[in-house]
Amino acid sequence: MGRRPMIAGNWKMYKTSGQSAILIQNLDERVESMWDRVEVVVCPPFTSLKAASTVIELDRLQMGLGAQDVHWEPEGAFTGEVSVPMLKELRCDYCIVGHSERREMFGETNETVNKKTRALLAADIVPIVCCGETLAIREAEQTDAWVRDQVRAGLDGISPKDAARIVVAYEPIWAIGTGRTPTPEQANDVARGIRATIGAMFGPEAAMTARVLYGGSVKPENALMFMVEPDIDGALVGGAALDAVSFAEIVAASL
Protein backbone atom coordinates (compact mmCIF):
# COMPACT_ATOMS: atom_id res chain seq x y z
CA MET A 1 0.00 0.00 0.00
CA GLY A 2 2.98 2.27 0.56
CA ARG A 3 1.69 3.87 3.73
CA ARG A 4 4.41 4.35 6.31
CA PRO A 5 3.44 2.68 9.59
CA MET A 6 3.09 4.92 12.61
CA ILE A 7 3.33 4.01 16.26
CA ALA A 8 2.22 6.87 18.48
CA GLY A 9 2.44 6.90 22.26
CA ASN A 10 -0.32 8.69 24.13
CA TRP A 11 1.24 9.37 27.51
CA LYS A 12 -1.98 10.81 28.96
CA MET A 13 -1.41 12.49 32.36
CA TYR A 14 1.86 10.70 33.04
CA LYS A 15 5.50 11.85 33.04
CA THR A 16 6.94 15.11 34.30
CA SER A 17 9.35 17.05 32.08
CA GLY A 18 12.38 15.29 33.54
CA GLN A 19 10.79 11.85 33.23
CA SER A 20 9.73 12.62 29.66
CA ALA A 21 13.25 13.53 28.57
CA ILE A 22 14.62 10.29 30.05
CA LEU A 23 11.89 8.16 28.47
CA ILE A 24 12.50 9.69 25.04
CA GLN A 25 16.24 9.00 25.28
CA ASN A 26 15.68 5.43 26.46
CA LEU A 27 13.18 4.88 23.70
CA ASP A 28 15.40 6.34 21.03
CA GLU A 29 18.20 3.91 21.87
CA ARG A 30 15.83 1.07 21.13
CA VAL A 31 14.06 2.36 18.00
CA GLU A 32 16.86 4.27 16.28
CA SER A 33 17.62 1.46 13.83
CA MET A 34 13.96 1.36 12.72
CA TRP A 35 13.56 5.06 11.91
CA ASP A 36 13.45 4.66 8.16
CA ARG A 37 10.68 2.06 8.24
CA VAL A 38 8.30 3.29 10.90
CA GLU A 39 7.31 6.69 12.18
CA VAL A 40 7.56 6.90 15.95
CA VAL A 41 5.58 9.66 17.67
CA VAL A 42 5.42 10.58 21.34
CA CYS A 43 2.56 12.63 22.81
CA PRO A 44 3.55 13.81 26.31
CA PRO A 45 1.42 16.13 28.46
CA PHE A 46 1.55 19.87 27.68
CA THR A 47 4.02 20.61 30.45
CA SER A 48 6.52 18.12 29.04
CA LEU A 49 6.36 19.26 25.40
CA LYS A 50 9.13 21.81 25.78
CA ALA A 51 11.55 19.29 27.32
CA ALA A 52 10.57 16.67 24.75
CA SER A 53 11.01 19.10 21.89
CA THR A 54 14.44 20.16 23.18
CA VAL A 55 15.71 16.58 23.51
CA ILE A 56 14.44 15.69 20.05
CA GLU A 57 16.10 18.74 18.54
CA LEU A 58 19.43 18.68 20.39
CA ASP A 59 19.94 14.94 19.96
CA ARG A 60 18.61 15.13 16.38
CA LEU A 61 16.16 12.31 16.99
CA GLN A 62 13.92 11.14 14.17
CA MET A 63 10.93 11.11 16.44
CA GLY A 64 7.66 12.90 15.89
CA LEU A 65 6.21 15.05 18.66
CA GLY A 66 2.51 15.35 19.35
CA ALA A 67 0.25 17.10 21.85
CA GLN A 68 -2.82 15.46 23.34
CA ASP A 69 -5.31 18.27 22.78
CA VAL A 70 -5.55 21.88 21.61
CA HIS A 71 -7.99 24.79 21.46
CA TRP A 72 -9.14 25.93 18.03
CA GLU A 73 -8.82 29.69 18.66
CA PRO A 74 -5.34 31.15 18.11
CA GLU A 75 -5.50 33.09 21.38
CA GLY A 76 -8.03 34.52 23.81
CA ALA A 77 -9.61 34.37 27.24
CA PHE A 78 -9.78 30.57 27.53
CA THR A 79 -8.37 29.75 30.95
CA GLY A 80 -6.44 26.51 30.98
CA GLU A 81 -6.35 26.06 27.23
CA VAL A 82 -3.43 25.85 24.81
CA SER A 83 -3.50 27.13 21.22
CA VAL A 84 -2.20 25.87 17.89
CA PRO A 85 0.52 28.58 17.64
CA MET A 86 1.75 27.52 21.10
CA LEU A 87 2.11 23.93 19.88
CA LYS A 88 3.72 25.13 16.68
CA GLU A 89 6.35 27.06 18.61
CA LEU A 90 7.28 23.83 20.39
CA ARG A 91 7.63 22.13 16.99
CA CYS A 92 4.74 19.73 17.44
CA ASP A 93 4.15 17.66 14.31
CA TYR A 94 0.95 16.03 15.52
CA CYS A 95 -1.92 16.56 17.93
CA ILE A 96 -4.43 14.02 19.20
CA VAL A 97 -8.01 15.27 18.97
CA GLY A 98 -11.25 13.71 20.13
CA HIS A 99 -9.77 11.08 22.40
CA SER A 100 -12.62 9.23 24.10
CA GLU A 101 -11.39 10.35 27.52
CA ARG A 102 -11.82 13.95 26.39
CA ARG A 103 -15.18 13.19 24.83
CA GLU A 104 -16.41 11.40 27.99
CA MET A 105 -14.90 13.54 30.72
CA PHE A 106 -14.29 16.97 29.20
CA GLY A 107 -17.21 17.59 26.89
CA GLU A 108 -15.44 17.08 23.56
CA THR A 109 -17.97 16.75 20.72
CA ASN A 110 -17.76 15.98 17.01
CA GLU A 111 -18.14 19.71 16.45
CA THR A 112 -15.16 20.70 18.59
CA VAL A 113 -13.14 17.86 17.10
CA ASN A 114 -13.81 19.37 13.69
CA LYS A 115 -12.82 22.88 14.79
CA LYS A 116 -9.57 21.58 16.26
CA THR A 117 -8.85 19.47 13.19
CA ARG A 118 -9.25 22.47 10.88
CA ALA A 119 -7.18 24.78 13.07
CA LEU A 120 -4.34 22.26 13.28
CA LEU A 121 -4.27 21.58 9.55
CA ALA A 122 -4.19 25.31 8.82
CA ALA A 123 -0.95 25.46 10.83
CA ASP A 124 0.47 22.32 9.26
CA ILE A 125 0.14 20.18 12.37
CA VAL A 126 -1.35 16.78 11.55
CA PRO A 127 -4.33 15.81 13.70
CA ILE A 128 -4.64 12.28 15.00
CA VAL A 129 -8.43 12.14 15.04
CA CYS A 130 -9.78 9.55 17.48
CA CYS A 131 -13.03 7.68 17.07
CA GLY A 132 -14.57 4.58 18.59
CA GLU A 133 -17.67 3.00 20.00
CA THR A 134 -18.91 2.08 23.46
CA LEU A 135 -19.63 -1.53 24.32
CA ALA A 136 -23.37 -0.83 24.06
CA ILE A 137 -22.94 0.45 20.51
CA ARG A 138 -20.91 -2.60 19.56
CA GLU A 139 -23.46 -4.96 21.08
CA ALA A 140 -26.21 -3.16 19.16
CA GLU A 141 -24.15 -3.74 15.98
CA GLN A 142 -23.98 -0.02 15.32
CA THR A 143 -20.20 0.30 15.39
CA ASP A 144 -19.62 0.92 11.71
CA ALA A 145 -22.30 3.60 11.40
CA TRP A 146 -21.21 5.29 14.63
CA VAL A 147 -17.54 5.47 13.68
CA ARG A 148 -18.29 6.61 10.13
CA ASP A 149 -20.42 9.43 11.59
CA GLN A 150 -17.58 10.50 13.87
CA VAL A 151 -15.15 10.52 10.96
CA ARG A 152 -17.53 12.43 8.66
CA ALA A 153 -18.14 15.05 11.33
CA GLY A 154 -14.52 15.30 12.43
CA LEU A 155 -13.13 15.74 8.92
CA ASP A 156 -15.96 17.87 7.54
CA GLY A 157 -14.80 20.73 5.34
CA ILE A 158 -11.10 19.88 5.12
CA SER A 159 -9.41 19.72 1.71
CA PRO A 160 -8.64 16.45 -0.10
CA LYS A 161 -4.95 17.35 0.18
CA ASP A 162 -5.23 17.64 3.95
CA ALA A 163 -7.36 14.50 4.14
CA ALA A 164 -4.53 12.60 2.43
CA ARG A 165 -2.18 13.29 5.36
CA ILE A 166 -4.68 12.87 8.15
CA VAL A 167 -4.30 10.17 10.80
CA VAL A 168 -7.42 8.55 12.23
CA ALA A 169 -7.13 6.39 15.33
CA TYR A 170 -9.84 3.80 15.80
CA GLU A 171 -10.09 3.15 19.53
CA PRO A 172 -13.04 1.13 20.85
CA ILE A 173 -13.79 2.72 24.21
CA TRP A 174 -14.28 -0.65 25.87
CA ALA A 175 -10.75 -1.67 24.83
CA ILE A 176 -8.93 1.35 26.29
CA GLY A 177 -6.94 0.43 29.38
CA THR A 178 -9.00 -2.72 29.92
CA GLY A 179 -6.83 -5.46 28.45
CA ARG A 180 -9.73 -6.37 26.15
CA THR A 181 -9.45 -5.92 22.40
CA PRO A 182 -11.54 -6.60 19.35
CA THR A 183 -10.26 -9.35 17.08
CA PRO A 184 -7.86 -8.08 14.42
CA GLU A 185 -10.54 -8.80 11.82
CA GLN A 186 -13.11 -6.71 13.71
CA ALA A 187 -10.62 -3.84 14.04
CA ASN A 188 -9.73 -4.07 10.38
CA ASP A 189 -13.40 -4.04 9.37
CA VAL A 190 -13.84 -0.71 11.15
CA ALA A 191 -10.55 0.61 9.73
CA ARG A 192 -11.77 -0.32 6.24
CA GLY A 193 -15.01 1.56 6.92
CA ILE A 194 -13.02 4.62 7.99
CA ARG A 195 -10.97 4.45 4.80
CA ALA A 196 -14.13 4.07 2.72
CA THR A 197 -15.61 7.14 4.42
CA ILE A 198 -12.48 9.15 3.65
CA GLY A 199 -12.69 7.91 0.06
CA ALA A 200 -16.34 8.92 -0.26
CA MET A 201 -15.60 12.37 1.16
CA PHE A 202 -12.28 13.18 -0.46
CA GLY A 203 -11.61 10.70 -3.26
CA PRO A 204 -9.51 7.58 -3.75
CA GLU A 205 -6.11 9.19 -3.32
CA ALA A 206 -6.90 10.47 0.15
CA ALA A 207 -8.28 7.04 1.05
CA MET A 208 -5.06 5.41 -0.14
CA THR A 209 -2.69 7.67 1.77
CA ALA A 210 -4.52 8.60 5.00
CA ARG A 211 -3.32 6.44 7.86
CA VAL A 212 -5.64 4.54 10.17
CA LEU A 213 -4.27 3.39 13.52
CA TYR A 214 -5.74 0.92 15.96
CA GLY A 215 -5.71 1.80 19.67
CA GLY A 216 -6.93 0.12 22.85
CA SER A 217 -4.83 -2.24 25.00
CA VAL A 218 -2.08 -2.60 22.39
CA LYS A 219 0.79 -4.53 23.98
CA PRO A 220 3.98 -6.18 22.68
CA GLU A 221 2.13 -9.53 22.74
CA ASN A 222 -0.78 -8.47 20.53
CA ALA A 223 0.67 -5.65 18.38
CA LEU A 224 1.72 -7.82 15.45
CA MET A 225 -1.73 -9.31 14.90
CA PHE A 226 -3.20 -5.83 14.41
CA MET A 227 -0.31 -4.57 12.28
CA VAL A 228 -0.65 -7.32 9.70
CA GLU A 229 -4.20 -6.26 8.88
CA PRO A 230 -4.30 -4.45 5.52
CA ASP A 231 -6.22 -1.35 6.61
CA ILE A 232 -4.40 -0.84 9.91
CA ASP A 233 -1.28 1.31 9.53
CA GLY A 234 -0.05 1.36 13.10
CA ALA A 235 -1.13 1.91 16.66
CA LEU A 236 -1.99 4.56 19.21
CA VAL A 237 -0.61 3.17 22.44
CA GLY A 238 -1.47 4.28 25.97
CA GLY A 239 -0.23 2.25 28.94
CA ALA A 240 2.44 0.31 27.04
CA ALA A 241 3.93 3.57 25.70
CA LEU A 242 5.07 4.58 29.19
CA ASP A 243 7.82 1.99 29.21
CA ALA A 244 10.64 2.23 26.64
CA VAL A 245 11.09 -1.53 26.35
CA SER A 246 7.44 -2.38 25.69
CA PHE A 247 6.93 0.60 23.36
CA ALA A 248 10.01 -0.34 21.34
CA GLU A 249 8.72 -3.91 21.05
CA ILE A 250 5.47 -2.56 19.63
CA VAL A 251 7.44 -0.41 17.18
CA ALA A 252 9.41 -3.51 16.10
CA ALA A 253 6.15 -5.38 15.53
CA SER A 254 5.05 -2.82 12.98
CA LEU A 255 7.97 -3.52 10.61
SS3 content of the chain, % helix, strand, coil (to 5): 50, 15, 35
Task: Judge residue 68's burial from the number of C-beta atoms within 10 Å of its C-beta, 0-12 exposed, 13-18 middle, 19 or more buried.
Answer: buried
Q: Does 98 bind ligand PGA (CB under 6 A)?
A: no
Q: Note whether 232 and 187 are within 8 A (CB).
A: yes
Q: Does 172 bind ligand PGA (CB under 6 A)?
A: no
Q: Which of 18, 157, 177, 204 binds ligand PGA (CB under 6 A)?
A: 177
99 is catalytic: yes
SS3 215: strand
Q: Does 212 bind ligand PGA (CB under 6 A)?
A: no
DSSP per residue, 216-235: SS--HHHHHHHHTSTT--EE
Q: Does 217 bind ligand PGA (CB under 6 A)?
A: yes
Contacts (CB under 6 A) with ligand PGA, residues 9-48? 10
171 is catalytic: yes
Task: Please identify which of the residues 39, 101, 171, 229 carries the catalytic annotation.
Answer: 171
Q: Does 163 bind ligand PGA (CB under 6 A)?
A: no
Q: What is the DSSP letter of 38?
A: S
Task: Please identify which of the residues 71, 99, 108, 229 carries the catalytic annotation.
Answer: 99
Q: Does 239 bind ligand PGA (CB under 6 A)?
A: yes
Helix (H) or strand (E) holding 168: strand 167-170
Q: Which of 45, 194, 238, 252 binds ligand PGA (CB under 6 A)?
A: 238
Query: What is the Cα–Cα distance from 14 to 24, expressed in whole angstroms?
Result: 13
- Least distance CB 216 / ligand PGA (angstroms): 5
Residues that bind ligand PGA (CB under 6 A): 10, 171, 176-177, 215-218, 236-240
